Every structure is written in C-alpha cells, then in structure tokens.
Chain A
C-alpha cells in the first residue's frame, strides 16, 4: 500500500508557495496585533438613557430564578404584575448559566464600550466585582429606588466592591456551607471532618468556585475570608491540597453535585443552600449544615452594564422587587436567601413554614456566622485563582 515519497508535484509546489506566502503575510500583520486595555471610565464610556421615551427593559437572568405560575409555566406572576403596573415591556431571558461563560460572552463588547442589548444582568459577587473594577457597570440613582434604600439587608450593604451600594443590587443571596446525605453518612459538623473523616474518603466533593471553597477553609483555620493575607490563603490551600492528595476529595463541582448527593454517590460536600433545600424537599435525609467555624454568604447581583439604554426602567424594576410583598412571592418560589427586610413578615401569609426557615430568612445568629469573600484586585485574582486551579487539577 505504500508509495514512494513524491519529490515534487504541482500541487505540492503550489501549496508550499501559498503556505509560505500566507505565513509571511501573517507574520507581517501579527506585529500590529495585541489588544487594548478593556478598562472603561465613566467619562470615557458614556451611556444614554432612553427610558423616558422607550418603555422597554431587557433582563438577563439565571434559569429558575424567577417565580412561574404553577399551572402555566410561561407565566411569571411577579414580573407580569410589574409589566402591567409600570407599562414597561420586559424581555426576560434566561441566558446566564455560568459567570465565566457569561463574561466570555460580553467581554468583547463591554471591553470596547459597546452595548450588549441587555439592561439588567445578574452576576455573582466576584464577577460583579470584576466588572465594576473594569468600569463596565453604570452607577444607579439611589433616589429612584426608595425600597432598596429601606429594605436591603444590612449585611449586604456597602460591600467592599460596591462601598456605596449603588452599582450592584442583590437579586437573591445564598450560603455556601456543608451538606450531607444521611442515608450514606453520619452527621457532619465541621469542615475538618469533611476533609479528614475516614468513612467519607472518596465520597466528598468541594466547589470549583474558589471563593466558596477557600472561604470555608479560611474560616475553618480561624481566619477571616473578608480580610486575609496571602500566607493565610496558602495555609488554607495546603489543607485543601492534603485532602486532594489523600483522595478524600473526589472532585470539584459546579451545580452538578446535587444529583450525585441525592443518589448517594457523594456522601458529603461543600454545596449551596438553595440546591440542598430543594433536595431536602424530596428527601429529608439530605441536609445543609452551617459549619461551626462559619459559612460564606454570596449574592447574585443585578447590574446595569455600560451602554444599556434603559437605566431608569431598570431602577424601577429593582425598586419593585424590593417591595417586601413581591420579594416574599419570589422567595417562596426560588428558596434562596431573600435580601429584602420585611419579606419574612409577608411570607408568614404565604407559607409560614418557609418563613421560619433560617436558610431563606437567616436569623441574627446565622448572619453573624456568615462572611462575604474579600474583593480581590486583578493581580490577586489571577494569582489566587491560578494557585487554586493548580490544586483542583485544571
């Protein structure tokens, strides 16, 4: 089957010449390449607000983050009510599935000060912090949002990446803590137990979300995730590395730990409160645990990106969702922590059992144990993320 090598053919010669010509051309134009800084400033990237004339709003959110009618899934009671009351036509899209992925989707536009055709996007703290750092987010007018002013939970105000509470308004919050399946494991109380208990070996997962996993580990070492040093971070990372090396930790996951925990492939894990509560409805043996050393509090925040043309409409919507009665209706559906004060009293009317659940309406004791991860600058973010990724294997 083998043929001798052809010395020269017309085709070979042609491709050779074309190839080298292309390479030369490529090399020449490469020199002019590189990317510009993606940082924008308030004066450099001015956005227009057309809310006065356009009663429209494009809202991008995560899947299953909005209440739907039990009988008709296409109806969203609270959002529909807003549309009728305000006359603003809301285009609601569930196109945020992953912070990093979404960042990749919009980074070219926002980095070049172009519009994304979205007026509100919902992103987690650290991603919100990154976008704020890059100057991609518009400042909101607090005077137009009296409900937010009055009802935002105190522990979610003036966070380090948004010290004036005027850039990122929490949509829902949640806790990152421990979870276990009582069918395959005994109760678990501390992070150290999770990382060392022999009966859990190979049946433990942790979150690939650095801030949640590392925040819990920092706390288990007695350090404050809202304010830690590089050495303390390394300490906590070493602790994690030991658990990885000893094969105690089976893998690092996103949301996908939930079905495995329900099946019992995973006995215990670091997980998110909302997921675990929902699993708990189906199987009461699956439980969420607030470790004694403390939990991580995170939020998904509503942001108005640069060049979004309906900021005033967006503010109106944010204000609407901080009405306790509306917030309670939403919380009854999504089961995450409701960032709105007064919603608990409203929830009493809808579902007293949910109103008493500290994982939806955390009490003082719970809130005092919860921390928000420190805001990182770009260099720290890259350095910590690289170290963490090295340990989790990617």
Chain B
C-alpha cells in the first residue's frame, strides 16, 4: 500500500536538490527506511522465499520422509490443471463483485465527498464502522440475513423473484454479495479521498462552456477521481480474488474459490508443494491482471 501511496511521479527527471544531499544527511533516508525494510524482509521476503522453495519440492515427499528440493516445476502445471475451475471462478466472482461495488461505491463516495455537508463525518463513520467488528462476524451476519427462513428470502419468494423452494444462501449470489459487502470500504475510502479534493469550480467552468452534466462528469470528475478509482479497485480486487471466507461460509463446495483450495492443501491434505505452487500462481495471476489494468488505466499518481 505504501508503494501505491507516495512514490513520486516518474515521468521526467526531478530537479536535483541543492546542497542538502551532502554529508551525513545522505544516509538518513536509508536509515529511516530500515525498520520498514527489516519488517518486510523478515515477514514478507523470507516467507516468500520459503514458499518458493516449497513449491519446487518433490511432490512425492511427505512429513515422515521429509521433502527434497528437486526443482519439480511440474507442480505448477499439475496444480493449475487440477484446480483450473476454482481459479477462473475466483476472478469471475471478484470481477462481478467489483462491478457491483463500483456501481454502489462511486455514487456513495461522491455523495459523501460532495453533497453530504455537515453529515460528511457521520457518513464516513458509517462506511468504516463495520470494520470495527471482525471480518468473520460480518460474514456470519450475512448468513443470518440470507437465511432460508429469513425476511429477505421470504420477501423475494413473495414477489416471485425466487421460486417457492429458492434460496440465496449456499449459492454463487450469496458469495458475490458477501465479497461485495466485505471489501466495499476499501473501494469507497480511496475514492472518497480523491473526490473530496475535486474543485467544484471546475464543474462550474465546464457547464459555463456548455458541457452537459454527463459530459462534465466524463471529462472532469471521472479523470480527476482516477487515482482513487484505480487504488480503490486494486484494494478491492486483490483481496477479493484471494478470499476464502465468503465462499466457505456463504457458499458450497461448488462455489469454492482458489483460496479454499490453498487452505485445504496446506491444512487438510498436507500437500505443501501443491499449496505453495497454487499460492504463487495466484500471485502471478493477480500481478498480471494488475499490470495490464495499470497499463490501460495508466495513472502516474498511483504507480
């Protein structure tokens, strides 16, 4: 996240700072970097390295015989072949959830930033408040909301949107709704930060120049909110595609995502090489998606 936030724009060389760079101050930025770097090294780089090693272990190893590192690159295609459906499902669900979240989150962030007036802080708290309880509790609450005998399903049955025997719980709908809900704040907050800085006079200028409201939105508001939009979509999409709690609690095995498979590979089936390989594949897939997305969205402010 910090990488997203404060790396300066890369286009063009920044003017060299005079004098200040000399002497003992030269080392200062690196010293300041040290705690963070050490933290990242210990808790990110080292485990990542171990995971990489584990993904290349001999798949016929076991706990009692130990695992030999045989550079078994075959683990990757095998894992991909066995769990291809869960992979595509993860990105599909996360994608649909993202679209839903954008449809809800953009107007919400806009309203809070521009129209809420003195209610602004209260509304912001409302967005953040659910985060005070644990992720697990929130998802369990959705189990109650979507329950077969709950009010919501009853209503949907009455208006015939659901068949008499229809249900929401244990369907893809429930999983996507859960994902949308659980990660919505990650999308709304960066968007809000961008939209809050939007200078209203620019919109007035646009309408003075005979731009319709739609056009003014497309040419002024949207481009100016791009940094928040890009950061928000990334913060939403990345954890959503790796999530397994929603599929576990609100779905069935038919809705399991790649996170569930990795969880079971490590904890239940004790197939460490496969679990590690799947983790890396997930990471690679997300990086690829993010990379393509950033190239297309191309916001300097974010990268």
With both beta carbons as reference points, the residue of chain B lying nearest to A134 in the complex is identified as B64
CB pair B269–A382 under 8 Å, yes or no, is: yes
CB pair B268–A389 under 8 Å, yes or no, is: yes
Partner of B63, one of A134, A252, A260, A385: A134
Inter-chain CA distance A2–B302, complex, in Å, is 12
Interface SS of chain B: helix, strand, loop or mixed? Answer: loop
Min Cβ gap A386→B in Å is 6
Min Cβ gap A25→B in Å is 10
Inter-chain CA distance A183–B166, complex, in Å, is 18
A30-B53, A244-B253 known; A3-B269 Cβ under 8 A? no
Residue pairs across A and B with CB atoms within 8 Å: the count is 110
Min Cβ gap B139→A in Å is 11
CB pair B49–A26 under 8 Å, yes or no, is: yes
Interface-located stretch among B66-74, B99-107, B283-291: B66-74
What residues on A are CB-neighbors of B49 within 8 Å? 26, 30
CB pair A30–B69 under 8 Å, yes or no, is: yes
Inter-chain CA distance A359–B141, complex, in Å, is 32
Interface-located stretch among A36-44, A218-226, A286-294: A36-44
CB pair A34–B57 under 8 Å, yes or no, is: yes
CB pair A394–B63 under 8 Å, yes or no, is: no
Min Cβ gap B172→A in Å is 13
CB pair B252–A250 under 8 Å, yes or no, is: yes
CB pair A378–B63 under 8 Å, yes or no, is: yes
CB pair A34–B263 under 8 Å, yes or no, is: no
Interface residues on B, range: 35 or more
A9-B10, A382-B270 known; A1-B223 Cβ under 8 A? yes
Inter-chain CA distance A30–B49, complex, in Å, is 8
Min Cβ gap B63→A in Å is 5
Inter-chain CA distance A35–B226, complex, in Å, is 47
A2-B298, A3-B298, A11-B10 known; A30-B56 Cβ under 8 A? yes
Inter-chain CA distance A70–B148, complex, in Å, is 35
CB pair B170–A251 under 8 Å, yes or no, is: yes
Interface-located stretch among B17-25, B121-129, B190-198, B254-262: B254-262
Interface SS of chain A: helix, strand, loop or mixed? Answer: mixed
CB pair B67–A34 under 8 Å, yes or no, is: yes
Inter-chain CA distance A326–B247, complex, in Å, is 43
The number of chain A residues with a CB under 8 A from chain B is: 44
Inter-chain CA distance A18–B270, complex, in Å, is 35
Partner of B66, one of A11, A37, A244: A37
What residues on B are CB-neighbors of A389 within 8 Å? 264, 268-269
User: With contacts A389-B264, A392-B253 known, what are 20 further pairs, Cβ within 8 A?
Assistant: A1-B297, A9-B13, A30-B69, A33-B50, A34-B57, A34-B67, A35-B66, A37-B64, A37-B66, A39-B64, A100-B267, A104-B266, A251-B251, A265-B147, A265-B169, A382-B269, A393-B256, A394-B253, A394-B256, A394-B264
User: Which residues from chain A sit less than 8 Å from chain B, CB to CB?
Assistant: 1-3, 6, 9, 11, 26, 30-31, 33-39, 100-101, 103-104, 107, 111, 133-134, 202-203, 244, 250-252, 256, 260, 263-265, 378-379, 382, 385-386, 389, 392-394
28 contacts between A and B (CB under 8 A): A1-B297, A3-B298, A9-B10, A26-B52, A30-B53, A30-B56, A31-B69, A33-B53, A34-B57, A37-B63, A37-B65, A39-B63, A39-B65, A100-B268, A104-B266, A133-B64, A134-B64, A251-B253, A256-B249, A263-B149, A264-B148, A264-B149, A265-B148, A265-B149, A392-B253, A394-B253, A394-B264, A394-B268
